[in-house]
Structure 1
Amino acid sequence: MLDQISELVKQFGGDAIVRNPSVPNEHNEAVMNETGNSILLGLQNMVAQGNVNDIAGLLNGGNIDASNPVVKQLTEQLSGNLGQKFGLSSNAASDVAGNMIPNVLGSLIGKANDPNQPGFNVSDIVNSIGGGSGLMDAITKYGGQFGLDQNRDGKVDINDATAAVSGKSGGFLSGILSKLFGK
């Protein structure tokens, strides 16, 4: 996932970073790397802190602007990192972060929700920000208690999520996941 985010950072980094006189040229590549890392680590930290609803709203196509809590938190984090690590002024760091975060997240979510975009999908995002299996472990552990075992095989796994999203199983989870993933 970091590779996909890094590609998007490069795509949007021309004006916000490379051609920005507030960012010294010798720091351009490092600022872009920091931006990609901050996005991925920031999303992972939000999941670890339990901000799953905010991230689900973002993945569902919520507003990807400064009013979005995920965008706000990531922008503040990146801005602080850029100031601390590269000596950018508060205004310059805020401008870079305020430009990059919404653009990169918007493109990432748009591509992940587009079935014609190979290499980008929502499940990869969820796996990457869920810290590997931690998020799925929690779903598996408690999912049966909440009726998430769609195929009634005694475990909650990707097959249950696929059945729910495709609507083949019906029920509560299908409705939630269908709304979440726009199916």
Structure 2
Amino acid sequence: MLDNLLNLVKQYAGDAIASNPAIPNEKNDEVIAEASNSITGGLQGLLSQGGLKDVLKMFGGQGEGIENSQVTRQISGGFVQNLMDKFGLDNQSAGNIAGSVIPGVLSSLVQKTNDANDNSFDIQSLFNNLSGGKTSGINLQDLLSKVKGGALDLDGDGDTDLQDLLLLFNKGGNSGGGLMDKVKGFFGS
């Protein structure tokens, strides 16, 4: 999965990285790897900090669109900071690179994940990899379908949050243990 992500970043690196005079040519591969690491690390950070609903909304095509999503803003911000810290770029140059690369890569990642004919990424493997296996046993494709259908606001409070997921997993009378503990642990509860 990580190799596929790196290849995806390379597709979007073009002028933003390879032809950018702010980045010496001998650093292009390092900056591309940093973009891939920033995406992976950003998604892992969101998942570990209770951002599952934002990530699921992005993969489900819900919300404000990928360019303006909380997920994209957070990952781009981390990438900008890494470009400034590791490669000495100024804020504007780093921001331009992040703005050219991150939304396109995330958009393509979402598209590939949702394309049944494209097996380069699948939602279950992606989340299992990003969560260190914490999502194994959780049917993420089903959750994603519910996000797409707007069916995850189970408590009627107008949003999708931990309470909605707990209600979803409690439908069968499960009062905890096993899958329920995974969901609670995943959200840090």
TM-score (norm 2): 0.71
Distance between the aligned counterparts of 2:69 and 2:55, measured in 1?
10
Q: Does 1:3 align with 2:3?
A: yes
- Is 1:117 aligned to residue 123 of structure 2? no
C-alpha distance in 2 between matches for 1:129 and 1:148:
28
Structure 1 stretches of 4+ moved >3 Å: 135-139, 142-145
- One-letter amino acid of the structure 1 residue matched with residue 66 of structure 2: I
Q: How is 1:11-160 mapped onto 2 (pairs within 5 angstroms)?
A: 11-62=11-62, 63-65=65-67, 67-130=68-131, 132-136=132-136, 146-147=170-171, 156=179
Q: Name the amino acid aligned to 2:76.
A: T
Q: Is the 8 A contact 1:13 1:100 kept in 2?
A: yes
Greater CA drift, 81-90 or 113-122? 113-122
Report how far residue 73 of structure 1 moved.
0.4
> Which structure has the highest helix share of the two?
1
Higher RCO by CA contacts (8 Å cutoff, separation 6 or greater): 2
Per-residue deviation, 1:138: 8.2
Superposition deviation, residue 135 in structure 1 = 3.2
CA distance in 2 between partners of 1:138 and 1:103 (Å): 28
Rounded Cα–Cα distance in structure 2 between residues aligned with 1:144 and 1:80: 38
Aligned-pair identity (%): 37
| Long gaps (5+) in structure 1 | 157-183
C-alpha distance in 2 between matches for 1:112 and 1:69: 19
Give 1:155-170 correspondences, 5 Å limit.
156=179
Cα distance, 1:32 vs. partner?
0.2
Q: Counterpart in 2 of 1:174? A: none
Alignment partners' CA distance in 2, 1:71 and 1:143: 28
Q: Distance in 1 between matches of 2:117 and 2:137?
A: 29
CA deviations on 1:90-114 (whole Å, 9 max, x unpaired) are: 1111111111110000001101111
Equivalent position amino acid for 2:21 in 1: P
Which amino acid is 1:106 matched to? S
Query: TM-score, normalised to structure 1's length?
Result: 0.74
Q: How many residues align?
A: 150
What secondary structure sits across from 1:30 in the alignment? helix
- Tell me, which stretches of 5 or more residues in structure 2 are unaligned? 140-165, 180-189
CA distance in 2 between counterparts of 1:84 and 1:137 reads: 38
Structure 2 CA distance, aligned partners of 1:42 and 1:57?
16
What letter corresponds to residue 171 of structure 2 in structure 1? G
Alignment-mate amino acid for residue 64 of structure 1? I
Q: CA deviation at 1:89?
A: 1.2
Once superposed, what is the RMSD of the aligned Cα atoms?
A: 2.6
For residue 135 of structure 1, give the secondary structure of its aligned residue in structure 2: coil
